[in-house]
Structure 1
Amino acid sequence: MIQRIQTIYLLVVVLVSGALPFWLPLWTDQEANWVYAQDELMILGGFGVVSILALIAIFLFKNRKNQFVVNRLNMIFNLFLLGFFVYRSLTLSGETNVSEKGIGMLLPIVSIVFLVLANKAIKKDEDLVKSVDRLR
């Protein structure tokens, strides 16, 4: 059933990772220009992988165990993306001047939160199915 709450959570992850990086800035460069996800190929690829994995997980609703595993893999990709952002923010050049970090660097954290909520809902569904099977 695709009309479950984890589908809503996964759609939020698709929107957060697939659309928001194009509008929310990540950081400023040395010339005080905002850097977006489409300016860095590796970051764009990372956000693309995260949104595609969330979209794949939506359509794995018939196999909850695989959906759970794909969400865990998606969390790992988000952690790598977050780690890259932390590394990039710590090594930004021009730290003697005031450099700005954008709100776009927090998008992997939002994705991880919604992936955890989706996994909790998937686990709850799996436990419900197991309890019904036990009563037969």
Structure 2
Amino acid sequence: MLQRIQTVYLFIAAGISAGLTFVFNLWTTNDNVLVFAKDDMLFLGLFLGSALLSLISIFSFKNRKSQFILGRLNIILNFILLGVFVYQSLNLSGEAKVSEKGIGILLPIFSIVFLVLANKAIKKDEDLVKSVDRLR
């Protein structure tokens, strides 16, 4: 059912992954050039993959177990994206390429929070259905 709270959480996570990556920059170079996720195919692919997993999870509401698994895969994908950001920021020595980090690097953290909330709501629904089945 699309009116559940996990749908709202998943939609917010998809919006963060797909929409806000074009609004907030990832970092600023020494030449004061803003770098967005669309400038690097790896970051763009990971962000859009996360948004796609969220949207697929929204429309698989009839199968809560697969919805829960897709949510966990999406959390892992966002942790990978966060790890790539941390690796890139720590791998560069000093002011070699990145002058100032932007808020776009924190977007996977916000997405992870909403995905965890969605998974908790999915788990709560699954437990409710199991408890009703026990009573029959």
What TM-score bracket applies, with the shorter chain setting the length?
Answer: over 0.9
The aligned counterpart of 2:101 is 101
The aligned counterpart of 1:52 is 52
Percent of aligned pairs sharing the same letter: 63
Distance 2:25 2:34 in 1: 6
Secondary structure, aligned partner of 2:25: coil
Deviations 1:40-86 (A, max 9, x none): 11100000100000000000100000000000000111011000011
Q: Which amino acid in 2 is paired with 1:84?
A: V
The aligned counterpart of 1:70 is 70
Distance 2:114 2:93 in 1: 32
Distance 2:97 2:49 in 1: 34
Deviations 1:8-59 (A, max 9, x none): 0000011000000001010112312110011111100000100000000000
TM-score by length of 1: 0.95
Distance 1:60 1:102, change over 3 A: same
Deviations 1:95-129 (A, max 9, x none): 27982100000000001100000000000000000
The aligned counterpart of 2:92 is 92
Q: Determine if contact 1:27/1:102 at 8 Å carries over to the other structure.
A: yes
Distance 1:8 1:24 in 2: 22
Q: Determine if contact 2:15/2:51 at 8 Å carries over to the other structure.
A: yes
Distance 2:58 2:98 in 1: 42
Q: CA RMSD in A?
A: 1.6
TM-score by length of 2: 0.95
Q: Determine if contact 2:13/2:115 at 8 Å carries over to the other structure.
A: yes
**Where do residues 16-27 of structure 1 align in structure 2 (5 Å cutoff)?**
16-27=16-27
User: More deviation in 105-114 or 87-96?
Assistant: 87-96
Unaligned ranges ≥5, structure 1: none
After TM superposition, give the deviation of residue 88 of structure 1 in Å: 1.2
Q: Which amino acid in 1 is paired with 2:50?
A: V
Q: Hey, which bits of structure 1, 4+ residues long, moved more than 6 A? A: none
Unaligned ranges ≥5, structure 2: none
